[in-house]
Amino acid sequence: MEIFFLGVGETCDTAHGNSSSIVTTSNGTRILLDCGFTVPHQYFRIVEDPTRLDYVWISHFHGDHYLGLPLLFLRLWQMGRTKPLSIVGQKGIEEQVMNLLEMAYPTFSKKIGFSFDFHVISPRATAHIAGMEWSTALTQHTQYNLGLLLKDGNKKLYYSGDGRANTRVRRLIPGCDFVIHESFNMVDTYPYHGSITSTLKLADEMDIGQVALVHLEHSLRKNEIDTIKRIVQNRPDTLLPVAGDV
């Protein structure tokens, strides 16, 4: 599996973009993890083939995680895509996405040159899609957010979306090879966000191979970057990615 970080920031981070990654699996399937405000511009800076994207995963319906979809669809149409695009998420994903597209570009859905295939995954359920196991857990967040575990052969990747890890997440991720986890503050300040401290504790307790800290509050990343870098440097299993890292 290859992970390309398109963006690593939270909603208001003008320097690092909204958190999103492109995952390329062992069989060449390409999955976009979330598509917030800034993601389409980041995506099309590096991808020129409109057929290259196979699946989009939407963790929840906050703007920095899904409001970039209309622009993504528009640009794919402009580039001549005819291949169906699969969208995977929680119950209501089709209605949310199609209503959003209609709001952004009225009547556009009637002329778009490709179709959508929607897949719904329920918490604690496992779906078999594109040769992989997709399993989810409901995290602790202000919006209904599903953390996603992708199992590609014997490799496991967990993407938190937003929300603090709870007992449901802990049952899902033991021994995970790679975890991309939102870490909004230095310590647990808000009940519906994770932190650097709690993410690292989670990695230790769950025997995680590597963990990437993303979705840091923008002023924390700016003002405490030296402290954060020292923490990361003392932990070989911990990454503080920036856009463009693989």
The per-residue pLDDT for range 99-123, each reduced to its tens digit, is: 999 999 999 999 999 999 999 999 9
pLDDT attached to residue 112: 95
Indicate which residue of 34, 54, 64, 162 is catalytic: 64
Residue 64 annotated among the catalytic residues of the structure: yes
pLDDT attached to residue 93: 98
pLDDT attached to residue 94: 98
- Domains, the chain, ordered by start: 2-239 (3.60.15.10)
Give the residues of the chain that fall short of pLDDT 50.
Answer: none
Q: What is the DSSP string of the chain?
A: -EEEEEE-B-TT-TTT-B-EEEEE-TTS-EEEE---TTHHHHHHHH---TTS--EEE---SSHHHHTTHHHHHHHHHHTT--S-EEEEESTTHHHHHHHHHHHHSTTGGGT-SS-EEEEE--TT-EEEETTEEEEEEE-BSSS--EEEEEEETTEEEEE--SSB--HHHHHH-TT-SEEEEE--BSS--STTS-BHHHHHHHHHHTT-SEEEEE-B-HHHHHHSHHHHHHHHHT-TTEE---TT--
pLDDT attached to residue 124: 83
pLDDT attached to residue 106: 97
pLDDT attached to residue 102: 98
pLDDT attached to residue 184: 98
pLDDT attached to residue 36: 98
- Please compute, for residue 22, the number of CA atoms within 13 A of its CA located in the half-sphere on the CB side: 20
pTM for the model: 0.97
